[in-house]
Amino acid sequence: MNWKRISRERYDEMLGALPPELRLTKGFLTGEAVTHETCTIAKIVVPKFRPFVQTARDAFYEGEKPMSRGEFRILDLHKVE
Model confidence pLDDT, tens digit, residues 11-60: 999 999 999 999 999 999 999 999 999 999 999 999 999 999 999 888 99
Q: Please give the pLDDT value at position 57.
A: 85
Q: Please give the pLDDT value at position 78.
A: 87
pLDDT at 81 over 90: no
H helices of the chain, in order, are: 8-17, 69-73
- Comparing CA positions, the residue from 3, 1, 31, 36 lying closest to residue 17 is 31
Please state the pTM of the whole predicted model.
Answer: 0.94
Range list of β-strands (E), the chain:
3-6, 22-24, 27-29, 35-38, 45-48, 51-54, 60-63
Q: How far apart are CA 6 and CA 3, in angstroms?
A: 9
- Comparing CA positions, the residue from 30, 21, 68 lying closest to residue 50 is 30
